[in-house]
Structure 1
Amino acid sequence: MAGADISRRTFAGVGLGAVAALGLAACSSSGGAGGGSKGPLKFWNMPWGSPEFTTLDQQITQAYKPKSGLPAAQYRSVQWANFTQTFSTAVASNTGPAVSSGGGTQAFEFAKQGKIAYADDLLESWKSNGLYDDFVPGILDTMKTDKGYVAVPYQVDLRILWYRKSLLAKAGVSVPTDWQSHMDACAALKKIGVYGLGLSGGATGNAFQAFVGWMINNGGGIFDEEQKPNLVTSANIEALDYIQELIRKGYADPRSNAYTTANTEAQWKAGKFGMQVEAPGLASEIGGTVGPDMAVGEPLTSPSGQKGCLSFPNNIMMYTNTPSQKDSEAFLTYYYKNMAPLWTKHTGVALPVLKSIAATPEFQSDANLAKIASAWQPVAKTWAAPGGAALFANVAYVDSTNPMTIFGQNVIALKPPKTVLQTLQSTLVANIKG
């Protein structure tokens, strides 16, 4: 995948500070359907990939030819810096978009404020044009709430296992397929001076995402069927026990708790990292002579016999403030029918949610992305695991937040797993009630 791999810490979810900002903006709103009710249909999108992504995305938007009586689409690329304030202010004052992407839980938060137009009618209309059946299995469920579909899935980011082909070959081990063979590979890599458990535990690192992924892999996770934190389980304890066994045996860099993603990328380039759970764009981020030597591994089978990883389904939402709901739905129908070049031209956007895009020769030409789509995406689960598939507003408390960073650092520091989980449990319960 070409282009920069934007850190999940930058945009993955609205997060605690953003939730507060959204709520504050909502309180200051005088309500009503104002700014977007006339004029062009505003489509705001985020820079999900390389600069080529935004250029092509704007071209696709501007090529929209609405039916007689419907407005043309107006494009805006919203930068990640202060994006939550940009949206909260605009939506509260009814000067925002009719359609947009944004943070992963943004639609759920705005829906609580009555600002979201649910996508049920749109998705129903797609049953007659093939779009509805084109979504990868299960992805629509992530947007379903008790009031309807809060948004439409757009693309999916995942945390998958990467390895360096030459280093595993030098260590004399095969690509791992379960936790035991993963540990064996780590042991073999250590003998040649390479860390098999790459981790970035610092303030801008992603180690906590990898740990939640291991928990999901073992049938665990953070939230139960009632969408409440339920962390202190045998599945989660077993997963963290496994991670800490790897750390105790010296399979992780001792400096991991201070590492940023930039530090771990440097270790890959230096030949010191042989495996790591990270984003789909890792190999392209590394680049040079090392990037082509990196490959996506197999989804590991856990001691409980399960497979799984953490995924982040990002979405496109419609707002109640629009020239008309008919306009919003007409534009999104056009957009989803014509967005394939964002992937076939390798602009750096995450995994597609449409099977037809993943099946194109252009997408399949990237063996790593094809492997992620075919092997990892089907077993991926969201932050809502193990209780369900659908996201919800309180997921914002765990998506790239300070309590999660502390959780990851506590694991790396070898604090007892039960204690680590109890600490996070208490923090989340307090934050959600607060």
Structure 2
Amino acid sequence: MNPSRTAFTRRGFLGLAAAAAAAPTLSACGGSSSSSRNSIEFWDMPWATPAYNTAAKKITQSYVPASGDLRTNYQIIQWNNFYQTFSSAIASKTGPAVSTGAGFQAFQFEQQGAIAHADNVIDALKKNGQYDDFLPGVLEPFKSDNGYVAVPWQMDMRVFWYRKSLLDKADAAVPTDWPSLLQAGKALKKAGAIGFCTGSGAGNNIGNHFLIAMMLNNGGGVWTPDGHVDLLNDRNVEAVEFVRELVSNGVIDPGAVSYTTNNMDAQWKDKQAGFGLYVLGLPQRVGDTSGDIIAASPLTGPHGDKAALVFLNNIMMYKNTPSQSSSEAFLVYYLGRIKQLWQQNLMNSLPVFKSITALPEFTKDANNVRILKEYQPIAKTSAARGTALSANLAVLDGGQAINQFTQTVLGGKTDAKSALRTFQSGLQSVITS
């Protein structure tokens, strides 16, 4: 991953709700229809360094379609204003036939009637044996009442990390549960380090993810099992009160409300941060592969719960294609070749296929192995306590309600119930159902 870039690897956010209001509706007309093209357009995002896109383009250009199917063109779409780019292109019928993109993007465009369901792709994967290669739990969230909205290809896990030398200096054990997290945080602070590294400054969603992760780790979550907002449940209140305890004890730095990901990177790189929640591949991200930054095991909540927050990045297809069968054939081909991206050490995310996790290029990183073994089986999406993904998750992840909530909690400004009540009101005012 490019360390200078904010963690784009799941991208269900970055102002999607605001962008949706400003972007054209999909009923707009104008532009040339993709049905007039004689090739499939595959739009991909800069998921890592430029070498990633070079490799993905090579995979695409190596595709030799069967007789009657179309070839595929590869195009890079930048994250900056990406939602407007997709929405405008789809509205004018000049958009892609297949794309990667934001984690919940497919569900937003499905609501607007633009997504081609992937059931035929899933059937093809069953026939070629790749369906059984999916890790447990990664495919089910994409099944809607109308079919598979998209197909997952990588996982972006939120992971607890620690710097061993700082814990040793503070004479503190690696936290395993909430009490030991508080104890270690106090010891780290006393030793002059940051006890829990997080942030909610401009463009930084890690603080948001930390709060959601703690709710999940306590058996709570934003939603009921059937998808209704339920932020004021007792487990959420307990989780937020615990975070407020970290704040009141100075374990979370008072400046965290303004820390960007660049600030957090510097804190880890400069050996200031002792423990915290961050993205996969933290040592590589900050350029410290000495072995001092280590993935901790998931914490155990006060009621014995264990959970981790994961974002499932996916590949989606669109109805406006010159050939739906060609879109499907290319997607099956591409999914069968993405192991090359991990073989070339280009991906800073967990694969969704068991066979890729067995590659020597993946298993040589002890942190990856631990995260896969300990985090993936207990991972939950931000849809929890439900499991099905939806467009509402983009509104949650990209909206102002969660940003304001995180600022309030990390700033120690009010009690848990008041903060959650305001969060619930703000979220309910903008969700679609």
TM-score bracket relative to the smaller structure:
over 0.9
Q: CA deviation at 1:5?
A: 5.4
Which residue number corresponds to residue 273 of structure 1?
273
Task: Indicate the SS of the match to 2:215.
Answer: helix
CA distance in 2, matches of 1:157, 1:272: 25
Which residue number corresponds to residue 262 of structure 2?
262
* Contact preservation (8 Å) 2:158, 2:277: yes
Task: Indicate the SS of the match to 2:389.
Answer: coil
Q: How does 1:1-400 map to 2 (within 5 A)?
A: 6-8=6-8, 11-13=11-13, 15-22=16-23, 24-29=24-29, 34-205=33-204, 206-288=206-288, 292-386=291-385, 388-400=386-398
Which residue number corresponds to residue 411 of structure 1?
409
Task: Indicate the SS of the match to 1:398.
Answer: helix
Task: Indicate the SS of the match to 2:294.
Answer: strand
* Contact preservation (8 Å) 2:6, 2:261: no
* Contact preservation (8 Å) 2:2, 2:49: yes
Task: Indicate the SS of the match to 2:257.
Answer: helix
CA distance in 1, matches of 2:330, 2:52: 19
Q: CA separation of 1:352/1:3 partners in 2, compared to 1, >3 Å: closer, same or farther?
A: farther
CA distance in 1, matches of 2:288, 2:431: 44
Task: Indicate the SS of the match to 1:153.
Answer: strand
CA distance in 1, matches of 2:307, 2:237: 16
Q: CA separation of 1:363/1:4 partners in 2, compared to 1, >3 Å: closer, same or farther?
A: farther
Partner letter of residue 62 of structure 2? A
Q: CA deviation at 1:148?
A: 1.1
CA distance in 1, matches of 2:348, 2:295: 17
Q: CA separation of 1:235/1:29 partners in 2, compared to 1, >3 Å: closer, same or farther?
A: farther
420-429 vs 260-269, greater mean Cα deviation: 260-269
* Contact preservation (8 Å) 2:156, 2:310: yes
172-181 vs 222-231, greater mean Cα deviation: 172-181
Structure 2 segments unaligned to the other structure (5+ residues): none
CA distance in 2, matches of 1:317, 1:112: 14
Task: Indicate the SS of the match to 1:298.
Answer: coil
Structure 1 segments unaligned to the other structure (5+ residues): none
Q: CA separation of 1:2/1:405 partners in 2, compared to 1, >3 Å: closer, same or farther?
A: closer
Q: CA deviation at 1:245?
A: 0.9
- Superposed CA offset, 1:326-366 (max 9, x none): 11111111111111121222213421111111111111111
TM-score between both structures, scaled by the size of structure 2: 0.94
Q: CA deviation at 1:18?
A: 2.6
Q: CA deviation at 1:86?
A: 1.1
Partner letter of residue 272 of structure 2? K
Partner letter of residue 404 of structure 2? I
CA distance in 1, matches of 2:282, 2:420: 29
Q: CA deviation at 1:212?
A: 0.6
Partner letter of residue 152 of structure 1? V
- Superposed CA offset, 1:245-297 (max 9, x none): 111111121211111111122222232210110110322121147x6421100
Identity %: 44
Partner letter of residue 20 of structure 1? A
Partner letter of residue 197 of structure 1? F
* Contact preservation (8 Å) 1:241, 1:417: yes
177-186 vs 407-416, greater mean Cα deviation: 177-186
CA distance in 2, matches of 1:37, 1:349: 37
Q: CA deviation at 1:2?
A: 7.0
Q: CA deviation at 1:125?
A: 2.0
262-271 vs 70-79, greater mean Cα deviation: 262-271
Partner letter of residue 143 of structure 2? K
175-184 vs 89-98, greater mean Cα deviation: 175-184
CA distance in 1, matches of 2:5, 2:343: 17
* Root mean square deviation, CA, Å: 2.0
CA distance in 1, matches of 2:5, 2:133: 26
Task: Indicate the SS of the match to 2:277.
Answer: strand
Task: Indicate the SS of the match to 2:161.
Answer: strand
Partner letter of residue 397 of structure 1? V
- Superposed CA offset, 1:374-396 (max 9, x none): 2112211111111x212101111
Q: CA deviation at 1:94?
A: 1.4
CA distance in 1, matches of 2:5, 2:143: 28
Q: CA separation of 1:261/1:170 partners in 2, compared to 1, >3 Å: closer, same or farther?
A: same
Q: CA separation of 1:199/1:3 partners in 2, compared to 1, >3 Å: closer, same or farther?
A: closer
- Superposed CA offset, 1:125-163 (max 9, x none): 211211111111111112111111100012111211010
Partner letter of residue 227 of structure 1? G
- Superposed CA offset, 1:281-336 (max 9, x none): 322121147x6421100011101211112111111001111222211111111111
* Contact preservation (8 Å) 2:9, 2:349: no
CA distance in 2, matches of 1:2, 1:258: 22
- Superposed CA offset, 1:12-70 (max 9, x none): 33721232245x33142479x93245311111111111111011010111011111221
CA distance in 2, matches of 1:252, 1:147: 44
Task: Indicate the SS of the match to 1:285.
Answer: helix
Q: CA deviation at 1:4?
A: 5.6
